[in-house]
């Protein structure tokens, strides 16, 4: 399976701390990313409309980024991941969330639309 890297960036008017808590813990993630989220050690299980996917938290830096790898991809030996990085513009001080993810080439546009919708949900949760 050949996966293509892509990025989606959205401006978010919220503090780094309030964004970060929505990226790396089950209660924060269940506010916008999935219907429900469970965690066991470093593996997060996300639930959506009767389906579930598990991802391992592979790295994070407080108030900067979190990086996950889908267990299905890990089992297949794929090096793909999805990362959510908080960016602060050095000139304007504006905050944005940059998502890096991977999808099959013919699914990139659909994946971008899904991330854009989910990030819209995150902005609503944060009030920004």
Q: What is residue 81's three-state secondary structure? A: coil
Unique residue bearing structure tokens 């639309």: 113
Domain map (residue ranges) of the chain: 3-126
Confidence of residue 40 (pLDDT cuts 50, 70, 90): very high
What is the pTM assigned to this prediction? 0.93
Q: Does position 7 have pLDDT exceeding 80, yes or no? A: yes
Q: Which CATH number fits domain 3-126: 3.30.530.20, 3.30.930.10, 1.10.1740.10, 1.20.1440.130?
A: 3.30.530.20
pLDDT for the residue numbered 2 = 85
Query: Distance between CA atoms of 69 and 59, rounded to whole angstroms?
Result: 10
Residue whose token pair is 């944005």: 96
Encoded tokens for 60: 């994070």
Rounded to 5°, the CA angle 55-61-66 comes to 25
Q: What is the C-alpha radius of gyration for the chain, rounded to an integer number of angstroms?
A: 14
Segment 103-114, tens digit of pLDDT: 999 999 999 999
- Is pLDDT at 69 greater than 90 in this prediction? yes
Residue 21 has pLDDT above 70, yes or no: yes
Between β-strands 82-88 and 95-104, what pairing exists: parallel, antiparallel or unpaired? Answer: antiparallel
pLDDT at 128 over 70: no
Distance CA 111, CA 36 (A): 20
């Amino acid at each position: 399976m050949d996966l293509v890297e892509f990025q989606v960036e959205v401006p978010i008017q919220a503090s780094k701390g309030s964004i970060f808590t929505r990226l790396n813990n089950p209660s924060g993630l269940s506010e916008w990313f999935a219907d429900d989220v469970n965690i066991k050690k470093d593996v997060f299980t996300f639930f959506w409309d009767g389906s579930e996917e598990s991802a391992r938290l592979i790295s994070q830096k407080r108030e900067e980024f979190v990086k996950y790898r889908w267990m299905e991809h890990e089992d297949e030996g794929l090096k793909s991941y999805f990362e959510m990085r908080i960016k602060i513009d050095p000139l304007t001080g504006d905050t944005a969330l940059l998502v890096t993810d991977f999808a099959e080439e013919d699914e990139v546009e659909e994946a971008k639309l899904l991330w854009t919708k989910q990030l819209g949900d995150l902005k609503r949760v944060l009030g920004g």
